[in-house]
């Protein structure tokens, strides 16, 4: 049973506070630090560098910020809590990997000629340095959101979300923000975190229900 939308919205926004603190406390800091390192790794296949740059895929790339809002319309408070924990664990785990395996982007960043796309990519490049690649948090966060909704819904919604996820994952490649290993490890990380978080929730669920906790 889901609580009223206003209640779910309030708690979703509240959960986004610690999630944002973890993300913005780690991601840009490690990105800036990695930019100063001389031991960055080339974690890509030479053939990947021939992948075309398709500016239009920026819309799929940016839609990640929308897909993480979709759970608001489907999850109750308990499910929101689980998703928030998954996002924080994914972020911390990825941050550790970023430090252990400091990667550098193989693609040469380029600005499109079209004014709109040029402005979008210029802003993106200003905010995001070409590091923090393996695993892709873009992919990991997106799948966490899709998996959370898919656990509570049936029919066309999970299918549509999976298709959306594929578009986001491909977009990270076609806008030259990530490589194949980044995408694969981002997906694997989100699967592992979701699996083990689910195990913890299943183990503690009877106690939570008896205690009337959220």
Closest by alpha carbon to 66, among 160, 164, 182? 164
State pLDDT tens for residues 57-84: 999 999 999 999 999 999 999 999 999 9
Q: How far apart are CA 160 and CA 90, in angstroms?
A: 23
> Does residue 210 carry a pLDDT above 60?
no
Say how far apart CA 139 and CA 122 lie, in whole Å: 22
Largest CA distance in the chain: 61
Average pLDDT of span 112-136: 94
Give me the pLDDT at residue 211, please.
42
Report pLDDT digits (tens) over 13-63: 999 999 999 999 999 999 999 999 999 999 999 999 999 999 999 999 999
Distance of alpha carbon 187 from alpha carbon 192, whole angstroms: 9
Higher per-residue confidence, 202 vs 108: 108
What pLDDT, in 10s, does the model give residues 167-205?
Answer: 999 999 999 999 999 999 999 999 999 999 988 877 776
Residue 191: is it exposed, middle or buried by C-beta count within 10 angstroms (0-12/13-18/19+)? middle
Instruction: Specify which residues 41 forms β-bridges with.
Output: 103
Q: In the chain, where are the structural domains located? A: 5-41+53-211
Q: What local confidence, expressed as pLDDT, does residue 207 receive?
A: 47
| Closest by Cα among 69, 43, 59, 57 to 142 | 69
Q: pLDDT (tens digit, 9 = 90+) per residue, 132-145?
A: 999 999 999 999 99
């Amino acid at each position: 049973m889901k609580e009223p939308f206003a209640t779910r919205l309030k708690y979703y926004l509240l959960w986004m506070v610690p999630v944002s603190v973890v993300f913005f406390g780690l991601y840009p800091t490690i990105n800036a630090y990695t930019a100063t390192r001389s031991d960055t790794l080339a974690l890509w296949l030479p053939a990947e560098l021939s992948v075309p740059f398709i500016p239009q895929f920026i819309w799929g790339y940016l839609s990640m910020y929308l897909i993480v809002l979709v759970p608001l319309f489907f999850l109750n408070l308990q499910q929101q809590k689980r998703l928030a924990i998954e996002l924080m664990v994914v972020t911390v785990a990825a941050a550790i990997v970023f430090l252990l395996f400091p990667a550098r982007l193989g693609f040469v960043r380029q600005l499109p000629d079209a004014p709109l796309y040029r402005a979008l990519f210029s802003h993106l490049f200003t905010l995001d340095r070409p590091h923090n690649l393996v695993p892709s948090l873009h992919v990991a966060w997106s799948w966490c959101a899709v998996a959370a909704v898919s656990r509570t819904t049936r029919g066309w919604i999970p299918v549509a979300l999976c298709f959306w996820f594929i578009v986001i994952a491909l977009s990270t490649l076609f806008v030259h923000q990530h490589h194949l290993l980044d995408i694969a490890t981002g997906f694997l990380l989100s699967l592992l975190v979701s699996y083990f978080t689910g195990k913890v929730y299943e183990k503690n669920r009877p106690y939570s229900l008896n205690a009337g906790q959220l």
